[in-house]
Amino acid sequence: MKAVSEADQSSLDGPLDRKAVLGDTLRRRILSMELAPGAVVDEIALCNEFGLSRPPVRELLRQIAAEGYIELEANRAPRAASMNHESLHAFFLAAPLIYIATTQLAATHATPSEIEVLKGIQRNFRKAIEEKDVENRVILNDEFHLEIGKMAHNDYLMPSLRRLLIDHARLGRIFYRHPTTDDMQRDLEIACDQHDQMIEAIERHDPETAAVIVRAHWELSRRRMAEYAAPVGVEVALAY
């Protein structure tokens, strides 16, 4: 594992700060594939790295397990959430349903202050696209759709969205390992424009238009992910 950055280290002023930094770091490592799907999460190494005792580390692991980032089983070391044929099949089936539902609800319930937060994330996402910053565009895309989920104000959808976004980010990280072609860069710019269109539909409180945009956005993303990540046999289920 990477050492804690200077910025993170300066934040480690107390157990609560160290625990928060650990949570953010562990989530990022899983989304960026630094911790591969199914990889063991070394509890003792995390204690040493972040200067924490085992109880707060275990509490944090239970918390992010509930969010879907890791898997906890009795008498087994914690592991980064797995990805396999079955989970990918479920992902491609569920993704459009959940993205459309959360975005339509966001268009119904979002407040002006929440929309401003979303616009801020989008500005950073566009910058990452323009600068071809692979890691940050994956993380910021995750933040963008998670923020829309929060704006939906629906406690039943959020757990599903969180779990969905974990695999979306990891699948995105897989195909971004390949050199960025002109075609891929064009798709990324289209995706970025679609984010702007989603914001506009949410700001107008127009759930019908939001659904149309999200469906097109998903199809653009689905096609790219399927090219690099979908196992044989999954494509039949992708034509949503």
Phi first, then psi, for residue 126 (nearest 5°) are: -60, -40
Confidence of residue 11 (pLDDT cuts 50, 70, 90): very low
Tell me how crowded residue 33 is: count the other CB atoms within 10 A of its CB: 21
Residue 232 has pLDDT above 60, yes or no: no
Three-state secondary structure call for residue 182? helix
Three-state secondary structure call for residue 239? coil
Q: Which residue has the higher pLDDT, 236 or 126?
A: 126
pLDDT in tens, 134-172: 888 889 999 999 999 999 999 999 999 999 999 999 887
Mean predicted lDDT score pLDDT of the chain: 86
Confidence of residue 35 (pLDDT cuts 50, 70, 90): very high
Any bridge partners for residue 71, and if so which?
A: 79
Rounded to an integer, what distance in angstroms lies between the CA atom of residue 154 and that of residue 1?
36
Q: Which residue has the higher pLDDT, 205 or 11?
A: 205
Confidence of residue 4 (pLDDT cuts 50, 70, 90): very low
pLDDT > 70: percent of the chain: 85
Rounded to an integer, what distance in angstroms lies between the CA atom of residue 170 and that of residue 177?
11
The topology under which CATH files domain 6-80 is Arc Repressor Mutant, subunit A (1.10.10)
Q: Which stretches of the chain are DSSP H helices?
A: 6-10, 15-31, 43-50, 54-66, 85-109, 112-130, 134-152, 158-176, 182-203, 207-228
Three-state secondary structure call for residue 82? coil
Three-state secondary structure call for residue 72? coil
Rounded to an integer, what distance in angstroms lies between the CA atom of residue 160 and that of residue 162?
5
pLDDT score of 6: 43
- Would you kindly state where each structural domain of the chain is located, as residue ranges? 6-80, 85-237
Domain 85-237 has CATH 1.20.120.530: yes
Confidence of residue 16 (pLDDT cuts 50, 70, 90): low
For the entire predicted model, the pTM comes to 0.80
Residue 123 has pLDDT above 90, yes or no: yes
pLDDT in tens, 44-100: 999 999 999 999 999 999 999 999 999 999 889 999 999 888 888 899 999 999 999
Residue 179 has pLDDT above 70, yes or no: no
Give yes or no for a contact between 129 and 232, defined as CB atoms under 8 angstroms apart: no
Confidence of residue 234 (pLDDT cuts 50, 70, 90): very low
